[in-house]
Structures are given as structure tokens and as C-alpha cells.
């Protein structure tokens, strides 16, 4: 089995890197939200305070990465999509490329830990390696791949903690969860999922040890509270620490002060953290400005409205999902949910501990990263679906793993990989900016909403 594990890791890692590094660096121009991150990094270099609607971790990491590369802040002052990148600044894109390459490997290891077969886990690693929208966010200075990396890494390290019972893995998991939250508040789903996963594991441990749900309600409450307290306190500490670092890097007057009262500059650091988070919340809840490529949350699983990131002559770059992964993954979520509810209804209450925890974890993971957007009244984009998308790919493999056996299962899993690779290749000109004719472009625009 170790030999298969090593081969699988190499195969997934190589495929993920190959799909992400192809034509890496193109275009040598600003792509989509890189226009904002260039300004933020320049502000760090100038130590000038700025305001952004999201927590500062990604911007801080990109600044430190730029310094490590020996770059300076002045060339970052680009103003629009399509502006030329100065020589050497293409190297900043290496950081998201590296962590984006790791995501399929991390998900493969997670699925192994929660009980999927080796072949099913491998199929998901390869499917995500061929997933077009995950590839595109790994190739530019964009936040999505950071959230995915920190969040799913936090789940993986929690699973190591549960297996090894080593507190160091739990601390790493909590720090990574905090980093996901400190990238964007949508990362809050990850600490919630880990707490839920721990609850499922407590149920399983109680069922195996005592032959019943739990001996007393007090015991399960005590264990959950102790874990919850440690995990959440660690997350809060790291979250606050990141803001303290952020403020320490920006001592000079800047454009960000326009969003705050005059007394903001004189606040203690903790008070500034509170006021900044309040301003971020108010801005996000009041941000209703429409965008040509915005989309409703309910349309994301169908890949109804991709985003044009860049255009240049006969080349275009889109945040464009892998149709097979989007559609088959969402169908798998629906089928898995129906199957789970039917089985749950047929069980007696004292049998609740026998519920398929892997299935429940994936369903809750998808729901927690999809349904909350129904209650958010602000402009949204299809990239907000990417965490849920990963869970839908997990659901596809789990469904096949639970229904089929032996050679039939292997054949179907191979077919899913082949289908995802075929979809990836067919639509690849839209993520790599390959020069294509107008006729070829028309052949890729299956629906009016894609244009």
C-alpha cells in the first residue's frame, strides 16, 4: 500500500503541476484582480496605510514574497487590467502556483483519511488537477487558491491529529484555519467543518467504546467544549496577531484613513483591529454595485456565468470551470443527499452512530460553503463556489465508491478521470490564453451567458 501511496502522490503532483505550469507567465500583463493586489503590495513597500474589504493575510504574504524575490514597490503601481508587468514581477505568481499545485494532493490525502478507497481518492486528486477554474486561480496573484490551500490543509492536519493524538497537529490545524479566515471571511466554514468533524469522531468513538451513543450527555458536552475552546481561542489569537503585523507594516499615512474617523490613528492596536473589522463588515454588507460578470449563487453549480479575466487580440483568459466536474459533481451531491436521507430515515435512533461519517462530512462541507451565499445580499462571482466545488468532486468519488465494487468501480473511476481530462483539454484555450480563431471561440461559447 505504501508503494501505491507514493505512486499516487507522484502522479497527482506531476499532473497538477503540469496543468498549472503550462504557459505559465502569460500574459505579461495585469490579469483581473491583480490590479488591486499590485496596489496593496505597493502600499506595504511604502508603509502607507490602505483599506481593503478582506483581512490582510494574503496581501502580507505576497508582500513578503516580493521582498524575498528582491523586488521593490514602485513598479506595482499598475492601474488597470492589461497594464504591462515590469520585468521580474512575473515571479510573484510563483507563490499561488506552488500552493495551488498542492491542493489536489491535500484533497487526495484527506479522502484517504476519511475512509475512501485508494483508487477513489486518486481519481479525485486527478480530477482536481484537471479542473479548469482551480488551475486558473493558481496562475495569477489572486486570493482563491490561498483560501483553498489553508482551509483544506487545516482539515488534513486535524485528521492527522485524530489519528496520532498529537497536539502539534491540532495546533497546526488551528493555525491554518485561522489563516483561511484571515484571507477571507468565507474561510470561516473551515473551523466550523473541523468542529463538526470532531463531533462525528466523538460519536464514533463513543459507539465503538460503549456500544451506545454516549454514556452521558455530560461526557460529550465536556469533550466538545474543551476542544472547541482550544481551537477557537487559537484561531482568534492568530487572527489578531495577523492584524497586529498588518498595522506594524503600515505606520505612514495613506488612502485607507479616508474610511475611518480622525481618532482612528490614535487608537490602541486592538481598538484599531476592531474598527477595521467593523468597516470591512459594513463595506461588504453594503456592496451592491453590479458587475458584468457577477452571478447568483444558485447558478454556480451549472457554471452559468464564467468570468472574463483578460483579453488581448486573439487570446482570452476566463475563469471557466471544467463542465464535467461541475455538472457531475453537483449531480453526485444531490444523489448522495437523497441516499443519505433515505438511509437516515430507515435507522432507529440508537443506530445514529452507524451513520456514514464520510458521507455526512462531505454533504455538510458542500452545504456550508454553498447555502450561506443565499443569504448574502452583495455582488458575487462564480469563484465563490470553488470550495463547494471541491466537496462536490469528493461526493462524486464517494458515490462511486459506495455503489460499485471491483473492476466495475475501477472502470467507472477511470472514466470520470478521462471525462474530466477531456473537458479540460477542450476548454483549455480559455484558461491558457491560447490564440484561437473566432470560429473556435464560438465553438467554446455553448451558452449565451458564457459570452
User: What pLDDT score was predicted for residue 200?
Assistant: 85
C-alpha cell at 146: 490561498
- Distance between CA atoms of residues 110 and 121, nearest Å: 8
Residues 6+ apart with CB under 8 A from 338: none
Indicate left, alpha or beta for 226 from its phi (over 0: left) and psi (-120 to 50: alpha): alpha
**What's the number of CA atoms in the CB half-sphere (13 Å) around residue 433?**
20
> What residues make up the domain containing 44?
2-259+305-450
- Distance between CA atoms of residues 375 and 123, nearest Å: 34
> Does any domain span residue 209?
yes
Burial class (CB within 10 angstroms; exposed 0-12, middle 13-18, buried 19+) of 230? middle
How many structural domains are present in the chain? 1
- Distance between CA atoms of residues 110 and 397, nearest Å: 13
Let me know the angle formed at the C-alpha of 167 by 163 and 168, rounded to the nearest 5 degrees: 100
> Does any domain span residue 150?
yes
- Distance between CA atoms of residues 441 and 430, nearest Å: 9
Main-chain phi, psi angles of 393, to 5 degrees:
-65, -40
User: What pLDDT score was predicted for residue 216?
Assistant: 52
Main-chain phi, psi angles of 226, to 5 degrees:
-65, -45
- State the alpha helices, DSSP H only, in 369-437: 386-403, 406-427, 429-432
- Distance between CA atoms of residues 118 and 430, nearest Å: 32
Contact 112, 146 (CB under 8 A): no
User: What pLDDT score was predicted for residue 350?
Assistant: 44
> Does any domain span residue 241?
yes
* Residues of the chain where predicted confidence (pLDDT) is lower than 70: 1, 73-77, 206-218, 347-355
> Does any domain span residue 56?
yes
pLDDT in tens, 93-132: 999 999 999 999 999 999 999 999 999 999 999 999 999 9
- Distance between CA atoms of residues 332 and 336, nearest Å: 6
> Does any domain span residue 298?
no
- Distance between CA atoms of residues 62 and 97, nearest Å: 12
> Does any domain span residue 265?
no
How high is the mean pLDDT of the chain?
91
- Distance between CA atoms of residues 11 and 246, nearest Å: 39
- Distance between CA atoms of residues 119 and 147, nearest Å: 27
- Distance between CA atoms of residues 152 and 330, nearest Å: 19
Angle of the 323-346 helix axis to the 386-403 helix axis, nearest 10:
60
> Does any domain span residue 288?
no
Residues 6+ apart with CB under 8 A from 429: 316, 436, 440, 441, 444
- Spell out a b/e string for 87-108, using b for 16 or more CB atoms within 10 Å of the CB, else e: eebebbbebbbebbbbbbbbbb
Signed CA dihedral, 258, 260, 262, 266: sign only: negative
Instruction: Report how far Cα 133 is from the mean position of its chain's Cα atoms.
Output: 11
> Does any domain span residue 277?
no
User: What pLDDT score was predicted for residue 210?
Assistant: 46
User: What pLDDT score was predicted for residue 214?
Assistant: 46
Amino acid at each position: 500500500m505504501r508503494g501505491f501511496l507514493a505512486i499516487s502522490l507522484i502522479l497527482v503532483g506531476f499532473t497538477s503541476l503540469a496543468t498549472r505550469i503550462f504557459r505559465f507567465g502569460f500574459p505579461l500583463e495585469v490579469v483581473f484582480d491583480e490590479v488591486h493586489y499590485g496596489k496593496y503590495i505597493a502600499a506595504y513597500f511604502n508603509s502607507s496605510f490602505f483599506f481593503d474589504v478582506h483581512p490582510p493575510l494574503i496581501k502580507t504574504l505576497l508582500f513578503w514574497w516580493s521582498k524575498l524575490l528582491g523586488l521593490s514597490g514602485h513598479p506595482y503601481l499598475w492601474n488597470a487590467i492589461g497594464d504591462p508587468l515590469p520585468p521580474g514581477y512575473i515571479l510573484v505568481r510563483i507563490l499561488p502556483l506552488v500552493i495551488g499545485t498542492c491542493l489536489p494532493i491535500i484533497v487526495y490525502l484527506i479522502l484517504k483519511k476519511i475512509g475512501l478507497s485508494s483508487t477513489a481518492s486518486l481519481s479525485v486528486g486527478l480530477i482536481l488537477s484537471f479542473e479548469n477554474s482551480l488551475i486558473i486561480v493558481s496562475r495569477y496573484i489572486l486570493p482563491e487558491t490561498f483560501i483553498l490551500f489553508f482551509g483544506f490543509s487545516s482539515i488534513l492536519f486535524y485528521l492527522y491529529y485524530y489519528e496520532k493524538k498529537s497536539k502539534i497537529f491540532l495546533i497546526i490545524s488551528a493555525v491554518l484555519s485561522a489563516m483561511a479566515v484571515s484571507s477571507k471571511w468565507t474561510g470561516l466554514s473551515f473551523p466550523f467543518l473541523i468542529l463538526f468533524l470532531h463531533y462525528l469522531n466523538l460519536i464514533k468513538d463513543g459507539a465503538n467504546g460503549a456500544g451506545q451513543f454516549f454514556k452521558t450527555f455530560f461526557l460529550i458536552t465536556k469533550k466538545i467544549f474543551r476542544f472547541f475552546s482550544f481551537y477557537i481561542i487559537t484561531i482568534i489569537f492568530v487572527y489578531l496577531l495577523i492584524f497586529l503585523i498588518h498595522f506594524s507594516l503600515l505606520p505612514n499615512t495613506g488612502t485607507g484613513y479616508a474610511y475611518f474617523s480622525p481618532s482612528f490613528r490614535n487608537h490602541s492596536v486592538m481598538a484599531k483591529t476592531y474598527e477595521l473589522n467593523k468597516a470591512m463588515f459594513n463595506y461588504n454588507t453594503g456592496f451592491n454595485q453590479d458587475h458584468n460578470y457577477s452571478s447568483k449563487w444558485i447558478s454556480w453549480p451549472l457554471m452559468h456565468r464564467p468570468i472574463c479575466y483578460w483579453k488581448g487580440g486573439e487570446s482570452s483568459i476566463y475563469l471557466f470551470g471544467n463542465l464535467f466536474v461541475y455538472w457531475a459533481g453537483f449531480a453526485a451531491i444531490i444523489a448522495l443527499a437523497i441516499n443519505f436521507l433515505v438511509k437516515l430515515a430507515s435507522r432507529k435512533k440508537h443506530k445514529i452512530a452507524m451513520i456514514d461519517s464520510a458521507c455526512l462530512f462531505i454533504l455538510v462541507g458542500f452545504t456550508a460553503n454553498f447555502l450561506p451565499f443565499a443569504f448574502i445580499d452583495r455582488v458575487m462571482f462564480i469563484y465563490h463556489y470553488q470550495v463547494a466545488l471541491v466537496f462536490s468532486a469528493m461526493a462524486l468519488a464517494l458515490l462511486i465508491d459506495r455503489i460499485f465494487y471491483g473492476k466495475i468501480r475501477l472502470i467507472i473511476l477511470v472514466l470520470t478521470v478521462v471525462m474530466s481530462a477531456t473537458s479540460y483539454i477542450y476548454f483549455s484555450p480559455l484558461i491558457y490564453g491560447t490564440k484561437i480563431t473566432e470560429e473556435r471561440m464560438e465553438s467554446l461559447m455553448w451558452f449565451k451567458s458564457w459570452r
